[in-house]
Structure 1
Amino acid sequence: MLTSALIALTVPLAAHPAQAAPAASAVTSMPQCAWSSKYGATSMNAYWPDTAATYWSTVYPVTPGLEITISGVFPDARYASFNVYDDKPTHFTRNGVTSNLPDYLITPDEGSFNPWRSPARPGGRFTLTLTHDVAVGQANRLPLAREDALTGAKASVIFRVYLPAGGESTVVLPTVTLTRDGVSQTLPLCTSGVAAPTPAAAVPAAQDPGPSTTGGSEVPVLPGVPGLPGETGQKVFTRTSEVDNLAPNADNTYLGTWVTPPAADQVVVIRGRAPRAVTGVHPAFWPRPLADMRYWSMCTNLGGQLKPVVINRFPDAPSSYGCRYDDNTRLDRFGYYTYVLGKEQQRTAIEAVDNATFLPFSASYPAAQHMILLRNLLPDADFAHATKNVPVDSPAETAATVMGPYYPLLKVCSLTGLAADGPRRCTT
């Protein structure tokens, strides 16, 4: 049986302050500068960010006649996109037009090239328009707001970049121009809104255990899904609305489960087949032959109001981040990953295990519940085993059936047993 130190829960997401309809007096102000908020491991650590990604946000009020023009250069990165959100915040569709635009669907300016659509170096230019007047088939036009949004309600646009070559400091942020009644204003780039790194100690201890308040029960032993002979583990990962409804990227879907770090010598082992992803940190033609998706990762996160990714900071050593993505995940000869979740002091022993990839629990809050997320970004339409094909809030058994060998199986092992027996057969 699985130790009771491991708890898998699906809990309704607590109401976000922005989910209520805006009152007449709660009116969002027009932005005075562009990209006022920055999210990620090196900035505002909130909403379960991936440590390989950075998000920049501009908030604006729903305003009749307002148009927003975004003009920039295609970044030198694995992936980039724009998402427009309502006040919940979530994406939406207006007149059949989705509020999401991934890199490879952006039409370049005349004389420029999109490096995800043609053999070209990054740096070509693009221009997007956020407007109330959208229709299917229009290039580079996104809905500014929901059709039923109240005037003055909060809306926002987020610019996401994954794995920029040279780091996030090399990303050139697009210009943002507001136009109303024929008058246009190009906003200056914000300087005060770029948040400093959030240390783990800044997360209030009362928030760390996550949304669970009911406790948990022992998870029963379940058989493995089709895969390698002898592959066993627990089916506890699900696709939950708790994750899907939190400022989601329309190109991302997740499987998640809550885990309480086990005690003493034990570690959490997660095994599954790795999808084939694009490699490197530069744009690549998409869709791409022999690639199942653009990017995937596994992350450890804390709960509470901020929902940060785990970052363990040390005074005399580099920080330890709670995400591993496709390129820095070790695989065995069959193409399977083995993530071993443990304490920082167990890292050396874990990394000595053949083909094991270490993921840290929080050093500041070692007893807190952690949300473990498997992220699939922009899967190919023909890849049937992607997390996006799992129904939201369906049972883990359904997720395992849809994903087959790509479903992550989980078990708790002693570190000694893991080293002796291997990840496929380790025992407590």
Structure 2
Amino acid sequence: MFAVVLGFAAAAPVAVGPASSAAAPTADVMTNVACGWSPRIGAATLNIAYPDTFANYWETFLPAVPGTSLTVHGDFPHARYMSFTSYAKQGEVSGSLNDQVIAADSGNVNPFRNGGDRKASAQQYTVRIVAGAPPTQPEANTLYTGDATGLVPIIYRVYRPDIGLDATGGAGLPRLTVTLPDGTNHELSECGATNTALDPHKVYSPRLAQRPTQTTSAREPDWKPATGGGHYPNPDNKYLATVVEPGRVAVIRGMLPTTPATYHEQPIMGSGQVRYWSLCSNNPASTAVATCVVDDETAVDSDGLYTIVVSTSDDRPANTAGDCGIGWLSTDAGSDLLIMRNMLPASDFRQSIQNADPTDPRSSMGSYHPEVHYTSKAEFEATGCPPRKSE
């Protein structure tokens, strides 16, 4: 077993031994695959590579041998989002299929499409992952690994499962079958893929090196757009990132994009300006996440603006607890790197991070750009609670 670090996601591999990118004898292919999906990866398990506390990750591998493919058959999860993504050797995305482009099996329903029936009894799908470059006319429900070599990592993601459900959104993990170049099939067993309980509001210990002490200044932090680069990103997300100064209380305000309501088992899949939004505090030295806030738990004031305080536990203002409508992110143990996610923006939502000017995101995001100012614990507590939008 060996570890693969995934930027803005994390995974633990389930394959052993090297694999050749050239055609290999059929008997050798399966020796490179130990089993199917890895155990669930995330903040409560392997807290590295900036995982979102409201997302869940599993990994498998496909030997990059011409003529080899992986068939994935499962039930759509009851969740906000799901996807399959394959990666090249340096962590670049080589192929991806998300929920909205996956056609359901005959007689079944894809609940993720706009207006989809999230309560439908038949919600099965079948996806193929093929070793090799995509043809001129790619097949439906097929992910191609491109020119990736060796063992190709494939990540299965599930974001924001419905209330009361496990990390798989009540669907279990999809079944995996490897088809070899000679046409024979091998069903892969599970790899002890447990669904560890997770409290998204918990502060998670980085467990690794802490960030060096920084000098303070009066200048407010700048946000920069980020994609995850060559570190195994989710291609459906784009990010804003900044670093707040240690030992200070930062207040972040901005317009919250609308998102589909799913968490409380809503029967119909709605739409929004983005599919998913979150803001997390992370340790840049260990790449661990400390805490995250998510769209459907983030209150807005009468102007539609959220307020989120970023501080150590010792400096946490009292009015960030309870029902005051103010979010809080921990900077304990050097977790002063902030990452904001926008997923799958609507085509007419021009203020998304995806559309942001890399050199000046504020100019293109407008009121959706997160504004930061520093204050003290006492000063912020004196402001009380903001008026709610419904008040």
| TM-score scaled by length of structure 1 | 0.73
Does the 8 Å contact 2:88/2:152 carry over to 1? yes
Partner of 1:228: none
Q: What SS is found at the alignment partner of 2:379?
A: helix
Does the 8 Å contact 1:270/1:339 carry over to 2? yes
Partners of 1:271 and 1:141 lie apart in 2 by 41
Partners of 1:217 and 1:415 lie apart in 2 by 17
User: Which amino acid in 2 is paired with 1:85?
Assistant: Y
Q: How many residues align?
A: 349
Does the 8 Å contact 2:317/2:377 carry over to 1? no
Partner of 2:284: 303
User: Which amino acid in 2 is paired with 1:102?
Assistant: N
Does the 8 Å contact 1:350/1:415 carry over to 2? no
Partners of 1:164 and 1:32 lie apart in 2 by 28
**Structure 2 runs not aligned, ≥5 long:** 8-16, 21-30, 387-391
| TM-score scaled by length of structure 2 | 0.80
User: Which amino acid in 1 is paired with 2:191?
Assistant: C
Partners of 1:353 and 1:114 lie apart in 2 by 36
Q: Residues 203, 102 of structure 1: CA spacing in aligned structure 2 closer, same or farther, 3 A cutoff?
A: same
Partners of 2:319 and 2:298 lie apart in 1 by 17
Structure 1 window deviating more from structure 2 (41-50 vs 28-37): it is 28-37
Structure 1 window deviating more from structure 2 (83-92 vs 49-58): it is 83-92
Report 1:77-156 matches (<5 A). Answer: 77-92=79-94, 99-117=95-113, 118-121=116-119, 123-131=122-130, 132=132, 134-135=134-135, 136=137, 138-143=139-144, 145-147=145-147, 149-150=148-149, 153-156=150-153
Task: Give the Å deviation of 1:390.
Answer: 2.3
Partner of 1:55: 57
Q: What SS is found at the alignment partner of 1:178?
A: strand
Q: Residues 296, 192 of structure 1: CA spacing in aligned structure 2 closer, same or farther, 3 A cutoff?
A: closer
The counterpart of 1:271, out of the listed 253, 257, 263, is 253
Task: Give the Å deviation of 1:196.
Answer: 9.6
**Structure 1 runs not aligned, ≥5 long:** 1-12, 16-24, 93-98, 221-233, 311-321
Partners of 1:337 and 1:384 lie apart in 2 by 19
The counterpart of 1:387, out of the listed 343, 353, 359, is 353
Task: Give the Å deviation of 1:167.
Answer: 2.8
Task: Give the Å deviation of 1:137.
Answer: 5.1
User: Which amino acid in 2 is paired with 1:278?
Assistant: P
Report 1:37-56 matches (<5 A). Answer: 37-56=39-58
Task: Give the Å deviation of 1:280.
Answer: 2.8
Partners of 1:354 and 1:114 lie apart in 2 by 38
Does the 8 Å contact 1:353/1:422 carry over to 2? no
Which protein, 1 or 2, shows the higher relative CO under an 8 Å CA cutoff with sep ≥ 6? 1
Partners of 2:19 and 2:284 lie apart in 1 by 29
Partner of 1:223: none
Given the alignment of the two structures, is residue 203 of structure 1 paired with residue 223 of structure 2, yes or no?
no
Q: Once the two structures are superposed, what CA deviation does each residue of 1:383-417 show, in whole Å capped at 9, x if it has no partner?
A: 001111125xx33xx11111111001111101221
Partners of 2:252 and 2:289 lie apart in 1 by 18
Q: Residues 88, 286 of structure 1: CA spacing in aligned structure 2 closer, same or farther, 3 A cutoff?
A: farther
Task: Give the Å deviation of 1:120.
Answer: 5.0
Does the 8 Å contact 2:74/2:125 carry over to 1? yes
Does the 8 Å contact 2:18/2:32 carry over to 1? no
Given the alignment of the two structures, is residue 236 of structure 1 paired with residue 222 of structure 2, yes or no?
yes
User: Which amino acid in 1 is paired with 2:301?
Assistant: D
Task: Give the Å deviation of 1:351.
Answer: 3.1
Q: What SS is found at the alignment partner of 2:380?
A: helix
Q: Once the two structures are superposed, what CA deviation does each residue of 1:142-186 show, in whole Å capped at 9, x if it has no partner?
A: 11x223x34xx2311111111112131634100111111111101
Partner of 2:14: none
Partner of 2:24: none
